Amino acid sequence: MTLIRSIAATAAVLIGLAAGSALAADPNPLPSYKGDPSETSVSGLSSGAYMAVQYQVAFSSTVKGAGIIAGGPYYCAAGNILYAGICMGQVPFVPPNPALMVAAAQGFADLGQIDPLSSLQNDRIYIFSGTSDTVVRQQAVDAAASFFKQAGVPTANIAYVKDVPAGHAVITPAFGNACDANASPYISYCVVDGQGYDQAGAILQHIYGALKPPATTLTGKIVSFNQRNFAAATTGMADEAFVYVPQSCTQGAKCKVHIALHGCVQSAAVVGDDFYVDTGYNRWADTNDILVLYPQVNASTIPFNPQGCWDWFGYTGLNYAVKSGAQLAAIKAMVDTLIAKQ
C-alpha cells in the first residue's frame, strides 16, 4: 500500500489511458446463477473501497448498499493522481471537500452518466476507519461519510465505525496480522468488546439486515473464471477472477450478489487466496444465499499501475468514475451475468 511513494514519478503517465484492445477468447466463462437483481451490494478495502464508492454511486438504482473500509469520497481525485495525497488524508489539515464531490456527482447524474443521486436515499452504507491506519487516514474517511450524507443517504442508514485500533486492513475474527498492522496481506485480527471483530458480517448485516449465523463448514465452492471476457488487458484487470458459490445457489435459490474488492497489492497474484478465502465473506454467504464476486486487478505497465490498485484517479481514462468507465462497466457486466435468467 505504498501508493504515495509513486505519485510524483507516475503522474504524467497515469492520466488518459483508455481501454480499447480486443478481448481474448473465453475458455472459462462466468456461469449464470439466476441471482436476484434487487439484492446487489459492494464492499472494498483501500483502492477497493474507493472503487466500491464509485460503483455504489454510479449504479445506485441497482445497488442497495456498500461497505467502505479505509476509503474516501466519490470522485475525490477528479482524474488527477496529484490529488491522491489529499484524498488519502495524508495532507495534515487539508481534508477532501465532500461538497465538491457531491457537486461533481450531481453533474454526472444530470448528464445521465450515473444514476440519479435520489437513488441513494434507500441505500445502506457501512464505513470503517481504524485509528492506527497510516495509509488512508481518518480525515479522508470522515469525508466519505460526509459525502454520503450530503448526497442524500439518511444518517440512520450509515454505520461509521472509527474507534477500533486497527491498521490498514480488512478485519476478521480469527485470521491475519496484529490489529494495528499496516502490512501485507492487509487482513488483520482485532478484538472488540471481548470478541473477534467480524467485519464481513458487520457489512453484510448492515446492508441486508439480520442474517443466519455464518457457516462453520462451507458447502459451496470457489469458481474461477476468465475475466478477459469482461475486461481487456488495457484496463489493468487480471486474466482470472473468482466467485464464491454457495451450494444453495446451484440448487435454485434466488441468490443475492455481493462484490468484494481487494486493495492495492492485494490481488490473488500477490496474496494468493487470502482475500477471497480468509476475509470471512464466504462463511456468511454460505448460509445466506449470497454469491460473492471477487474481481481482480493486477500491477501493470500498460496501463501504468505498479501497485495493482483499482482505478479511482483516472489511469483507465477520464470516465473512470461513471457507468462507462472500463472497470466499473466490467464489474457491472459480471454482476449482470451472475443474475442473468438464461
Q: Which three cell numbers stand for residue 96?
A: 477532501
Query: One of 123, 133, 142, 180 is an active-site residue; which one?
Result: 133
According to DSSP, the β-strands at 290-294 and 256-261 are: parallel
3-state SS, residue 338: helix
Does residue 262 carry a catalytic annotation? Answer: no
Q: What is the dihedral of CA 194, 196, 197, 200, to 10 degrees?
A: -150
168, 206, 258, 262: which is the annotated catalytic residue?
168
Candidate list 43, 46, 60, 129, residue with the active-site label: 46
Q: Is 32 a catalytic residue?
A: no
| Residues 20-30: b if buried by 16+ CB within 10 A, e if exposed | eeeeeeeeeeb
CA 323 to centroid of chain Cα atoms: 15
Axis crossing angle, helix 98-110 with helix 138-150, rounded to the nearest 10? 40
8-state DSSP, 116: -
Compute the distance between CA of residue 294 and CA of residue 315 in angstroms, rounded to an integer: 21
List helix spans (H) across 138-198: 138-150
Judge whether 180 counts as a catalytic residue. no
End-to-end CA distance of the chain: 40
Cell numbers describing residue 97: 471537500
Residues 123, 115: contact at Cβ < 8 Å? no
Catalytic residues: 46, 133, 168
